[in-house]
């Protein structure tokens, strides 16, 4: 397979927040949309901001990642979300980004590939 076989344009995907806490607090699950693929810059910015507790930077990223069904930002014009929903959304986005490897590229053995001598 060639690497270009994996290059695709981002698609909107629905994300459902359905934890026990969300349903208990709000009466039902809550959904939003995000892109299934993000740039490497957004990917690393998200994880670095989250792990370094850089909340202002994380907020700016989240505003570009929590979208409606048309792909428009939900958190615009000074809008914000209740903290339990926002926290659940950040966790869910982290899960999605952490699992964003292509199914086709996942190793069947579950073992990490060995680096070639030139890559070590």
Q: Please state, for a pLDDT cut of 90, what percent of the chain lies above it.
A: 42
Token pair in block for residue 65:
């990642």
**106 or 16: whose pLDDT is higher?**
16
Distance (Å, rounded) from C-alpha 100 to C-alpha 102? Answer: 6
Q: What is the DSSP string of 26-56?
A: HSS-EEEEEESS--HHHHHHHHHHHHTT-HH
Task: Give the pLDDT confidence of 32-88 residue by residue, as tens digits.
Answer: 999 988 888 888 888 888 888 888 888 888 899 999 999 999 998 889 999 999 999
């Amino acid at each position: 397979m060639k690497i270009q076989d994996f290059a695709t344009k981002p698609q909107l995907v629905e994300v459902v927040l359905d934890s026990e806490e969300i349903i208990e607090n709000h009466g039902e699950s809550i959904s939003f949309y995000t892109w299934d693929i993000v740039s490497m810059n957004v990917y690393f910015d998200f994880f670095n901001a989250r792990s370094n507790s850089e909340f202002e930077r994380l907020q700016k990223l989240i505003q570009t990642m929590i979208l409606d069904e048309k792909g428009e930002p939900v958190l615009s014009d000074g809008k914000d979300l209740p903290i339990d929903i926002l926290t659940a959304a950040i966790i869910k986005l982290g899960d999605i980004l952490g699992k964003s490897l292509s199914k086709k590229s996942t190793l069947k053995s579950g073992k990490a590939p060995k680096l070639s001598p030139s890559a070590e």
